[in-house]
Structure 1
Amino acid sequence: MGKLETKRLLLVEYNLEWIKATIAGVDELERVSGYTVSRDWPGIDFFFYLPYVLENVKKEPEMTKWTHLIVLKDENKVIGEIGGQGKPEESGEIELGYSIVPAYQNNGYVTEALEELLIWLKNQPEIHRIFARSFESNTYSIQVLRKSGFVYQPERDKVDSRGTIVLWEYPMNEDVS
């Protein structure tokens, strides 16, 4: 796939070399990618998830096509990530996740990135289901999912020690409105 482009953003495939560089440090990612990287990226949750991603990508390099760095074109800067978990090639399903560094939040960047990714995902023959989970308390994430056409699935709520996790499903047979 390589990259997707919107008016303000590039969604760039997060390849094996860049994953390794991120683990080594932001300066290394800047060196190998050619992009400036926000000093607040990656967030703590994504950073601790990276060794797991690295191991999976080493085994199955084609998995990188599902995860992208979000680059703000005006600044040539990595400000977040967006992508999917799981093995869509096998399951036909993809669970989406995303994050934007705090300094760039509330500017519509995640919504813009998600809508572009959804267009691409709907054209992938192996994808039959797109969904996302969010904490019920994460109103920002829920707002992004609603704007992007996801439908809340209340019967699928789960409660854990951190709060209620809600499930959102993207209707594959309809266009994003």
Structure 2
Amino acid sequence: MVETQRLLIISFTYEMVEATLKGRSELEKVLGCKVSEEWPSSTYAKRIPQKKEKLKQQPETSIWSRIVIEKESNTLIGEIGCKGGPNDKGVVEIGYGLVSKARNKGYATEMVSKLTEWLLERPDVNKVTAECLDTNIPSARVLEKSGFHLIDHKDDMFFWGYKEN
């Protein structure tokens, strides 16, 4: 588990993925917390069956996929993780999402910053990257505030790398 002042960032395990596919109340039982009615987004929901298959084969990969719980309300409000583990050069790409009710409160910056810090403490990770649509200004601002810098802009995508001190 990775923890910030306001958030718990926990591995999205096979058991949790299975419960998600059964419905919100089932996931709430497994987690012992509320699940926002907005979670998962339609985009993230499409990935859950693939996550289930991957976790069935490789349960240890759950460390790369996480859900985000807001501590004060004890509610699942989003997800964050890596698009797979590190490649052979130790590079991981992060992605994240929050339910609309949790946006504009600093949660995204908090979770991106903390997960990036956690990743860079791992011996198998050398670099953290991210990408977002060039029209997704809120996500670009989160990445900037979290210490990422713009590396490239191709087609309709911004490509980011974490600034190393």
- The normalised TM-score by structure 2 is 0.95
Larger CA deviation: 90-99 vs 117-126: 90-99
Query: Once the two structures are aligned, what percentage of the paired residues are identical?
Result: 36
111, 114, 122: which one aligns with 1:113: 111
Q: Deviation of residue 89 (structure 1)? A: 6.3
1:139 aligns with 2:131: no
User: What secondary structure is seen at the aligned counterpart in 1 of 2:9?
Assistant: strand
Q: Which amino acid aligns with 2:2?
A: L
Residue identity opposite 1:38 in structure 2: S
Where do 1:20-31 residues align within 5 Å? 20-31=18-29
1:169 aligns with 2:157: no
Aligned pairs for 1:29-48 within 5 A:
29-48=27-46
Tell me how many residue pairs correspond in the alignment: 165
Where do 5+ consecutive residues of structure 2 fail to align? none
Give the alignment's Cα RMSD to 1 decimal: 1.2
The residue aligned with 1:158 is: 154
State the Cα distance separating 1:90 from its structure 2 match: 4.5
Q: What's 1:83 paired with?
A: 81
Structure 1 consecutive aligned stretches of length 4 or more whose deviation exceeds 2 Å: none
Amino acid at match of 1:96: I
Alignment of 1:32-71 (within 5 A): 32-71=30-69
Amino acid at match of 2:159: L
Bigger Cα displacement from structure 2, 23-32 vs 140-149: 23-32
> Partner of 2:132: helix, strand, or coil?
strand
Question: What is the Cα deviation at residue 158 of structure 1?
Answer: 3.1
Shift of 1:87: 2.9
Q: Work out whether residues 64 and 85 of structure 2, in 8 Å CA contact, stay in contact via their aligned partners in 1.
A: no
The aligned amino acid for 2:116 is L
Greater shift after overlay, 124-133 or 83-92?
Answer: 83-92
Q: 2-side partners of 1:125 and 1:43: how far apart?
A: 32
- Superimposed CA distance per residue, residues 58-111 of structure 1 (whole angstroms, 9 cap, x where no aligned partner): 121111011211111001100001110123164522110111100110000011
Partner of 1:4: 2
Displacement of 1:140 in angstroms is: 0.6
